[in-house]
Amino acid sequence: MNNQEERLKAGKRVVTITLTPAVDMFVQVEKLMPGTLHRIPKPEKFVGGKGINVAKALQAFGTPVVATGFLGGANGRWIESQLQHLGIDARFVSTATETRLNVKVVDSEGVLTEFNSSTTLPSPGEWTEFETRLAALAGESEWFAFCGKLPEGCPAHWYQEAIAKAKELGLKTLLDSSGAALRHGILAKPDVIKPNLHELEELTGLELSSVEKVVSVAQEVVADGVGMVLVSMGASGMVVVTQDATWEVRVPKVEVVSSVGAGDTVVAGILHGLCTGKSMKETIRFAAAAATAAVTTAGTKRPELADVLHFEAAIQVVERRANR
């Protein structure tokens, strides 16, 4: 059986790739005041990392998913156990170094202050094992979703090379990263990228102070070969550009419980729509509804499918123009 036949047999499965996962510890305070003592409720721990957040949401939406990357030490074992408890197929490579711990402090007004640990570069042997695992997963899947920052010391062009290899094997690819990793990664022309507004400004060196400017820049990226550019803009909604059309998405005002991982839920929503045969407009609406549901959910818990469907009717998707 060849690779294409194996993928058809497996269905449109997504592989999420998280090179820098984390345990996210959330702490609630009335008001964060540096230099003072804070009395806090019991902290809550969540499984973190962009690709892992995507995998959790895809699992909740009913889309087959495999989560891979690097995990190490007690934190890594805890993450793997949590994913297995959720029913997620976790195929991580074990590392000799401990998976990082991040601390997220949220005040009574919903303001988030983050303390994120640095990442450690896996050993050459661990990288070799991981790339062998990716090659094996390629024959069973439809999409590779490359999500998050690269480990410190990793070459900035790693995503670019990995996307190129995946495309050679007939896979569809998504990239959700920032900085140099995104700048190099788009050179491999992935099918989808999902920068937020700040990341797009960083990529282009421009201040994107209007929707028109966002659209113009996103169209330039698509013209250079990227299949779809989805720009998330928080409460201002989203802009989506493909070779065929441009859409502006408006979202309802909701009470924000936690914005952590909302962008990852957008990624999961797009992948879910593309894997289940929804139209582009339906896919965009679902992704925006997923992000809206996500910000009403505590920590990095992902919304259930019913939560997303509840918000779909409130999402406005307007086709601004055909890109022909």
Asked whether the CA dihedral 100, 181, 228, 198 is positive or negative, the reply is positive
Per the CB < 8 A criterion, the answer to whether 15 and 68 are in contact is: yes
- Give the pLDDT of residue 31: 92
CATH number at residue 38: 3.40.1190.20
Q: Can you give the residue range of the structural domain that contains 123?
A: 3-322
Residue 134 pLDDT level (bands cut at 50, 70, 90): very high
pLDDT tens-digit readout, 185-196: 999 999 999 999
Which residues are tagged catalytic? 264
- In the chain, the number of structural domains is 1
In order of 131, 157, 247, 305, 318, the CA distances from 240 in angstroms are: 31, 25, 5, 22, 10
Q: Closest Cα to residue 138, out of 183, 178, 177, 169? A: 169
Could you give the CA distance from residue 317 to residue 181 in angstroms, rounded to a whole number? 30
Determine the pLDDT at residue 235.
82
What is the rounded distance in angstroms from the CA atom of residue 174 to the CA atom of residue 254? 28
pLDDT grade, residue 93 (50/70/90)? very high
Where are any strands of DSSP class E within the chain?
A: 14-18, 22-28, 44-48, 65-72, 89-90, 93-95, 100-106, 112-115, 143-147, 172-176, 192-193, 228-232, 238-242, 245-250, 316-322
% of the chain with per-residue pLDDT over 90: 70
pLDDT band at 5; cut points 50, 70, 90? very low
pTM: 0.89
Q: What is the pLDDT of residues 306-323, one digit of tens each?
A: 888 888 888 999 987 655
pLDDT of residue 3: 44
Q: Are strands 100-106 and 89-90 parallel, antiparallel or unpaired?
A: unpaired
pLDDT of 299 reads 56
Residue 298 confidence (pLDDT)? 64
Q: What mean pLDDT value characterizes the chain?
A: 89
Placement of tokens 């990341």 in the chain: 199
* pLDDT for the residue numbered 309: 85
Per-residue pLDDT at 7: 41
pLDDT value for 312: 87
Question: What is the band of 258 on the pLDDT scale with cuts at 50, 70, 90?
Answer: low
Average pLDDT over residues 9-20: 82
The 10 Å CB-count burial string (b at 16+, else e) for 254-270 is eebebebbbbbbbbbbb
- How many Cα atoms occupy the beta-carbon half-sphere of 87 within 13 Å? 8
